[in-house]
Amino acid sequence: MAAGGYPLSRRGPGACHRPSGAQRDPAGESEARLRRGDLPRLAGVILFGSLLEPLLLMFGLSLTTASSGSLLLNLEGIATMAVAWLVFRENVDRRLLLGAVAIVLGAAVLSSTGTGLSLTAGGLLIAGACLCWGIDNNLSRKLSSANPVQIAMIKGLVAGTNNMVLAFRSRKWGVLERTAPTPAIPADTLA
């Protein structure tokens, strides 16, 4: 119990924050701090997961249909597995490869128009965003021994700033067209 008779879990997320020193869990053990050797991985996480991925995803979604975009987002799992296997030399067995092929083939069949398969510029951008997510996921896993609160704070600050800049700049670039508001339906027509 904390001061005032309320358990810490009921006082809000900021109640457990310690501005100086390491974060402590209820058992009193401290989280590992980011080390100088973690900075290149953290820079990669920020570059791929907080800067490039939102940019590619925003442009990709603006250039493709909602159904194609949602199917293409399944490539994130495939990209994460491929980066882990090809770059970080993780073990991938036959079942994982068959599952990945099934996901890709299923998405291809479902997104087919009947006249053949085609990948638009929007689809390529979404695939690039999924690749960035895959790199981010793998680099984040390598940082898993460091303080997750500190990593999330840094990533969130950069991603939030980046997304705000993208939102304000998107109108200037013409990515997001301004839509007219939906007119109100008079109440007497509903009766």
Cα 86 vs. chain centroid, distance in angstroms?
A: 21
Residues 126 and 78: their CA atoms lie apart, in Å, by: 13
Contact 77, 103 (CB under 8 A): yes
pLDDT band at residue 177 using 50, 70 and 90 as cut-offs: low
| Cα distances (angstroms) measured from residue 173 to each of 53, 105, 138, 158 | 18, 35, 32, 21
Q: pTM of the entire structure?
A: 0.69
Contact 163, 55 (CB under 8 A): no
Contact 32, 43 (CB under 8 A): no
Q: Where are the domains of the chain?
A: 38-173
Q: Give the residue-averaged pLDDT of 5-19.
A: 44
pLDDT band at residue 87 using 50, 70 and 90 as cut-offs: very high
Q: What are phi and psi of 171, to 5 degrees?
A: -65, -40
Residues 123 and 72: their CA atoms lie apart, in Å, by: 7
Residue 133 has pLDDT above 80, yes or no: yes
Average pLDDT, the chain: 76
Residues 157 and 50: their CA atoms lie apart, in Å, by: 9
State the burial class of residue 3 (Cβ atoms within 10 Å of its Cβ: 0-12, 13-18, 19+): exposed
The pLDDT score that the predictor gives to residue 70 is 87
